[in-house]
Amino acid sequence: MAERRGRGREEAGQPGWSRQQEAEGGGQGRGSTKGDVPRVPAGSRMNLISMAAEPELKWIALWVRVRWAAVLVLLLGSLLLLLLPLPAVEEKCHAVLRGLSFLRSKLGTGYTGVTRYAGQSTGLSVTSQGLELLVLKSKASPEVKLEAKAALNQALEMKRQGKREKAHKLFVYALKMDPDYVDALNEFGIFSEEEKDILQADYLYSKALTLSPCNEKALINRDRTLPLVEEIDQRYFSIIDSKVKKVMAIPKGNSALRRVMEESYYHHIYHTVAIEGNTLTLSEIRHIIETRYAVPGKSLVEQNEVIGMHAALKYVNTTLVSRIGSVTITDILEIHRRVLGYADPMEAGRFRTTQVFVGHHIPPHPQDVGKQMQEFVQWINSEDAMSLHPVEFAALAHYKLVYVHPFTDGNGRTSRLLMNLILMQAGYPPITIRKEQRAEYYHVLEVANEGDVRPFIRFIAKCTETTLDMLLIATTEYSVGLPEADGSSAGCKQTIPVKT
């Protein structure tokens, strides 16, 4: 899924406090006697009263102390929550939820909170066998499921009557009520096929198989759509390849090309940090890079993020692009060391040592990060990976790295740099994911976490085509320049036709 931030280092504090015990005691007074007439001593009545009241006073004092102790413990706990970093608190909460999930599974309540998917590998899918996700979202209640079933029945009735627009809305509503409703996924997929939306239909069938791998109807439906989807994807890759050839045919000395590549450099830094929440404008970023002076009144952390991205891009361009087929763990750590080195030097260039959480996705345990990264680097240098289409290869590398989430912060920026490194090594220009595409970017990453990475690959392919179109348009006789950095993303969706 593009990175979600877990900044801050753990602070261990054990504030101590002491109480001073109060000494309690009682004395019995002796009354003086006069004469030899027997009488009750003068202070004995007072002593009897004090003796009777003394236990009650002790209990009252003890109760007051207990109440003060409870208040102090509550205040101490609140202070510790404020001092501890958020990931540490979330780790404890998730541990409790995992324990409850395990207890439910042992008691036979059905839902364990763990979704397993043993999917089929296709030309555009990550091998997902053994993929394990802990999805912390509640299941639909029986009442909601009943409402979803009623909506599905109404949708099928509307479809039968030919009222397809109403049927579409009812299908969407049924899945909004119960996203895991397999029958609704199948029926909506059939409806999408009839509407000639093969990609949507195949996605719905894939999700149905994720939830119910042995569902016969979903298996039959997906066997029908899978070859069509692969053909559509390969055709799209062919269009991209033809546009790459046109871009590569532009003379290197073309002044318009040099100008637009320089502009795209600043645009890339602007958008890649803006996706992560950076508020600096394009002009401010240009000022920081060109002058190395700070912008008054702006966050120094945000400005250091820009300097870090500039340093990482220079490292990739001058050191790594020419080394085709030999990406190492050291290279990835060096990229990250520059990305985060100015904003958080303590965490820069080293793997995380704490558990992090990214939306509904829980990345591997810190102890497993090293092993996972070794396997990732082996894959990225393998013949199987290099035989993929460059866009597919780059997108999968991006997704696999951000899935492991090896760093405390800067995972998204590092993953996008690695993706562009692979593209540039294949002769493609570096691409930019615009900040206006942030919601779609995170959505397709979440879909990939659920078992289907093809929507994410198509998203990266769309961004690649947009970049190619921008270069082709900007180098024509009537150059239109780059889209506005702060403008809408409508221009990102425009493509130019290419004769194949």
Look at residue 1 and give its three-state secondary structure.
coil
Q: Which of 267, 268, 389, 405 is catalytic?
A: 405
Annotated binding-site ranges for ATP: 358-361, 409-416, 441-442, 449
Please enumerate in sequence order all residues whose Cβ is within 8 A of that of 285, keeping only pairs 6 or more positions apart, or say none. Answer: 266, 269, 270, 273, 306
Please enumerate in sequence order all residues whose Cβ is within 8 A of that of 212, keeping only pairs 6 or more positions apart, or say none. Answer: 182, 218
**For residues 244 and 238, what is the distance between their CA atoms, to the nearest angstrom?**
10
CA 15 to chain centre: 34
Annotated binding-site ranges: 358-361, 409-416, 441-442, 449
Look at residue 299 and give its three-state secondary structure.
coil
Please enumerate in sequence order all residues whose Cβ is within 8 A of that of 148, keeping only pairs 6 or more positions apart, or say none. Answer: 140, 174, 175, 177, 178, 181, 184
168 is catalytic: no
Would you state the torsion angle of the CA atoms of residues 356, 358, 360, 361, taken in this order, to the nearest 10 degrees? -70
CA 216 to chain centre: 33
Structural contact between residues 125 and 119, judged by C-beta atoms closer than 8 angstroms: yes
End-to-end Cα separation, the chain, in angstroms: 33
**For residues 6 and 60, what is the distance between their CA atoms, to the nearest angstrom?**
47
**One-letter amino acid of 477:** E
Residues tagged active-site: 405
